[in-house]
Amino acid sequence: MPAAHRHDRTLLALGRRLRVAEWGEDKAVSPLLVFNGIGMNLELIEPLAGAMAPRRVVSFDMPGVGKSPDPLVPYTPVTMAMTASIVLDRLGHERADVLGISWGGGVAQQFALQHRGRIGKLVLAATSAGMLMAPGSAAALARLFDPGEFTAGKALHRTLAMLTNGGGTGAPVSLNAATPPSPAGWIYQLGALFGWSSVPLLPLLNVPTLVISGDDDQVVPPLNARFLHAMIPNSRLRTIPGAGHLAMLSHTHEFVAELNRFLDPSPSVDSA
């Protein structure tokens, strides 16, 4: 897998101090802005960023996650989309393609609706339309809504292992890079999507969109991906066989191949 050196910095946006990372050196194409899953620190997408090299990848730790300080006030997808736009300004990026993973898929949808002029293509992975969604298994949701499963190191590793397991056909996943969010960070991030739904606005989402789902996702069942695909005009739908909720970790090769076919549909990529 190609190496991609990570450049970390601390940026201030809308009064929030955030740890921001940028990988890759290719300035000929738009960077990929990644909104991560709940409680997931930047280091967890290092394999994804490495596989995307030399394309630039940009992401940041949400408040109270990774090395970003705790949030002082609640935030919403609207304010976090504004924050991401400011981060792109600070980094000198006029436009970006956007990837939203799980929880981050909600913010990615809001960013696409709110900042249409700044987005090239949109990828929604293992995500839903917000509160109006087909629920996952009771066991998986019980862990997601239990702070003890996210804010302690060993418990977090168990939870992430459960999320990546799926059909068990992916490569072994190292979760040593996972660091638990603070209790405040976890609560504020979980509460950010409470009451939020993109359903009424999805038909207005006139952005080239790829929806990706693992066919054994126990947290956000594939029915949610099919719903997004049906509601977003001219979107594409791809399913990764045997993958669970975090296919970008367990099935990185397949996931990145789908990303590249969509983001850079050249003959050489399509034939890979």
The whole-number mean pLDDT for each consecutive block of 10 residues of the chain, a chain of 272 residues, reads 79 96 92 95 94 95 96 95 98 97 97 96 97 84 72 72 60 75 92 94 96 93 97 97 90 95 69 36
Question: Helix, strand, coil % (nearest 5) of the chain?
Answer: 40, 20, 40
Write the CA distances from 9 to 17, 58, 61, 130, 185, integer angstroms: 10, 11, 11, 31, 20
Q: Are 42 and 61 in contact (CB under 8 A)?
A: yes
| pLDDT number for residue 150 | 67
Distance separating alpha carbons of residues 211 and 30, to the nearest angstrom? 19
What the block records as the tokens of 258 is 């789908």
Name every residue whose Cβ is closer than 8 Å to that of residue 146 and which is 6 or more positions away in sequence: none
Give domain limits for the chain.
6-265
Catalytic residue among 30, 85, 102, 213: 102
d(CA 224, CA 201) in angstroms, rounded, equals: 16
> Dihedrals φ, ψ of 169, to 5°?
-100, -5
Told to judge if 102 belongs to the known catalytic residues of this protein, a careful annotator would answer yes
Nearest alpha-carbon partner for 106 in 208, 207, 36: 36
Rounded distance between C-alpha atoms, residue 263 and residue 61, angstroms: 24
Q: How many residues make up the chain in this entry?
A: 272
Strand 209-214 and strand 236-240: pairing? parallel
What is the chain's alpha carbon radius of gyration, rounded to the nearest angstrom? 17
CATH 3.10.20.30 given to domain 6-265: no
Residue 132: what pLDDT? 87
